[in-house]
Structure 1
Amino acid sequence: MYTIQANVSGSRSLEISEENLLTIQKYMLFHHLISSNGVVSELDLEKLRMNIRSLIASQESDCKDLLDLCIDVIYHNNMKAFGLQQLINLYKEWEAKIPVEEIATEAE
């Protein structure tokens, strides 16, 4: 379990599970999400929310992992642009620690 800061002052935080990070990876939710300037805005958070809604609506099979991600993280009351930036940073650190063999196995 990981904890990210959800606001600039540090008075709010979010708990991020390994399953949440795996869901982000599985659906490649952060690919092409942020504009070229690298600044995360509320519009980027809204874009992510719309992308996830679309994925859930188009799923024919069980999408419990996406629903859990929405409830626990993406639609959490504390999630704002700053929190999304922290989540993206956590995801990048987490992804860098995954062994190359594990990534190849998951892709198959």
Structure 2
Amino acid sequence: MYKIQANASGTRSIEVTDNHLETIQKYSLLSGLVDSNGIIDENILDKLKFNVRGLLESEPGKDKDLLNLCLDVIYNQNMKAIGLKNLVLLYKEWGVSHKDAEEENKETI
């Protein structure tokens, strides 16, 4: 379990699980989300919410993990642009460590 800071003052946080990060990876939710300028603002957060809403509407009730990601993280009342920025950073770090762990497992087999 990970915690990301959700606001600038650090008084609010959101808990993110490995399952949430795997769901982000499964649907490539963060791919192409951030513009070339690299700035994550409320418009980018809205774009993510619209993308996820479209996925949920196209497959209603089929993926509980995606629904949990929405309820727990993306549509969390504390989620703001800084929270999304921290989620992106966490996802990048998790992706590197996750890839390293997979490579170690392949080597031991």
| TM-score in same-fold range (> 0.5) | yes
The count of aligned residue pairs is 104
Percent identical: 51
**Matched residue type, 1:39:** I
Structure whose alpha-carbon radius of gyration is higher: 2
SS at match of 2:78: coil
Match of 2:83 in 1: 83
Q: Which structure 1 residue ranges, 5 or more long, are not aligned? A: none
Match of 1:66 in 2: 66
> Cα–Cα, structure 1 residues 62 and 85, in superposed 2: closer, same or farther, change >3 Å?
same
User: Per-residue deviation at 1:102?
Assistant: 3.4
**Matched residue type, 1:87:** L
- 1:1-108 correspondence runs (5 A): 1-59=1-59, 62-99=62-99, 102=102
**Superposed CA RMSD:** 1.9
**CA deviation map 1:30-61 (0-9, x unaligned):** 00000111010101000000000111111267
CA distance in 2, matches of 1:99, 1:40: 25
> Cα–Cα, structure 1 residues 95 and 55, in superposed 2: closer, same or farther, change >3 Å?
same
The 10-residue stretch of structure 1 (27-36 or 94-103) with the greater mean CA deviation from structure 2: 94-103
Q: Which structure 2 residue ranges, 5 or more long, are not aligned? A: none
User: Per-residue deviation at 1:99?
Assistant: 2.9
